[in-house]
Amino acid sequence: MDIFINNSLTKKKEKFVPQDKDLIKFYSCGPTTYDFLHVGNARALVVGDLIYRILLAEGYKVNFVRNFTDVDDKIIERAAKEGVDPLVHSQRFIEECQKDMKSLNLLTPTHSPKVSDTMNEIIEMIEVLVAKGYAYVAEGEVLFNVPSFKDYGKLSRKKLEDLQHGIRVDVDAKKKHPSDFVLWKPAKPGEPAWKSPWGPGRPGWHIECSAMAKKFLGDHIDLHHGGIDLMFPHHENEIAQSECANGCTFSNNWCHNEFLNFGAEKMSKSLGNVITIRAFVESYGGEVLRHLLSSVHYRSKMEWSDGVIERALSDIERIHLFLLEFSKLKTSNKETPANIEEVKKIRKNILNELANDFNVPGALAELFNLIRLINREYIASSSEGIGQKLKESTMELLSLMAASTGLIYENPQEILDKVGQARKKISGSDNLTEEKISSLVAERKEARISRDFKRSDEIRNILQDSGVEIKDNPDGTTTWSYK
């Protein structure tokens, strides 16, 4: 199936055409490992994994590279504070990060290089840039000369003239141009250092991604992903380094995920401190975080709030209650061709949504159409059971959804228990706002329409626990009041 991607380089939605359709070359900027990762870091990790999974589900083979930045100022600073070797410190947090990645159900990339293992390639690339006249040595540093690359700014649409505004020229007198950036810097005493033609030192941040992409994917890649905060200057600098060193286009397509914002809504006390991936996952399970981050399109801004957590809890509850009920359904000899057709249609729609700029929320809406169909026809009604063929195509579709989105991976009973505890925490510590009450009332109405009485009763209980009484009126409307 053709995939369409909103290409940040051209600012257009375009058909994705890999150079070699049998092997896509995909690079995603990975984390700097100086501490436990934050839920905000999880968004870029989940989006990179979603892109990888969807490309696989659409039938492509993918060479996927996501790096670890294990040499960095922040790492050196933290390690010095704790009195440990910086590479020991960063290795410790690579391992912690890998645990978080596992709990978020991230697939292992084809390659996960570290800066400390890529030093030869980094030095080689800098040598090429110096030899070709794009970089120069000044006081032991190697700097990239930005005006030497005439396409600089093509990704972020920034003009070199405009970049000079606001930069204090007197800050760094050795720079030929204020936008020039560091490729290699000399080590200060006590800092980790590698031998180089310019003396012992370490690389600047940007060069690692150019060198790693070249090492594992070649000079010209198909797709590059990262958070929107990396577009300038990091990705702009990657393009400059790679295109000047390699003499060809770096990446045909660029994807940027938007921010996860904090602070728009005051978080309740029960959730306020839950800010690292580890702490969130311990309280709610990885699937809740993954679901929450996948339920908004990657190019939309996302606000971290109790509301989005509650929505993720409700979705997960609906999905896993369904899985439990579905597994108990008896098989009958009677097939229902109309329903088999309907499941086929939903399957096609899911693949279409995923191929349409990785629209996971659209695919999730289709999953709920499937759940509604099977609930209405077989679980909530007194049917004689589900036909074998329909059961198989439903199961196939559920596993397709799980593989292509990475959602639906925890044990249903365990996650339902966690969701139950999380709900108690939320409703017990914080009175429901009117907005939340209205959304629960609306959700209950939907549950009743799809004959999901278990859920509708649960919502009634949640509301009752918070002192809210609901009344179903004869005209079909529902009103609520405080007790």
**Which residues are near Zn ion by CB under 5 A?**
29, 209
- Is residue 204 a contact partner of residue 233, using CB atoms and an 8 Å limit? no
| Residue 332: CB minimum distance to Zn ion, A | 55
Report the residue number, 45 or 323, with the smaller CB distance to Zn ion. 45
| Residue 113: CB minimum distance to Zn ion, A | 11
Report the residue number, 65 or 407, with the smaller CB distance to Zn ion. 65
Report the residue number, 53 or 256, with the smaller CB distance to Zn ion. 256
DSSP three-state, residue 41? helix
Report the residue number, 54 or 209, with the smaller CB distance to Zn ion. 209
Q: Residue type for 117, please?
A: D
Report the residue number, 29 or 223, with the smaller CB distance to Zn ion. 29
Distance CA 293, CA 458 (A): 25
473 phi and psi angles, rounded to 5 deg: -85, 155
| Residue 235: CB minimum distance to Zn ion, A | 7
Report the residue number, 67 or 456, with the smaller CB distance to Zn ion. 67
Distance CA 319, CA 326 (A): 10
Question: Which two tokens mark 2?
Answer: 């053709």
| Residue 228: CB minimum distance to Zn ion, A | 13
- Is residue 360 a contact partner of residue 292, using CB atoms and an 8 Å limit? no
| Residue 184: CB minimum distance to Zn ion, A | 17
| Residue 40: CB minimum distance to Zn ion, A | 17
DSSP string, 150-189: TTTTTTTT--HHHHTTT--GGG-TT-SSTT-EEEEEEPPT
| Residue 221: CB minimum distance to Zn ion, A | 12
Report the residue number, 41 or 456, with the smaller CB distance to Zn ion. 41
| Residue 230: CB minimum distance to Zn ion, A | 6
Distance CA 67, CA 57 (A): 23
Going from the C-alpha of 202 to that of each of 68, 168, 395, the distances in angstroms are 15, 25, 52
What are the helix (H) ranges across 218-359?
A: 236-246, 269-272, 277-284, 286-294, 306-328, 337-355
Q: Looking at the chain, how many residues does it have?
A: 483
Going from the C-alpha of 376 to that of each of 368, 371, 456, 472, the distances in angstroms are 12, 8, 14, 21
Report the residue number, 213 or 440, with the smaller CB distance to Zn ion. 213
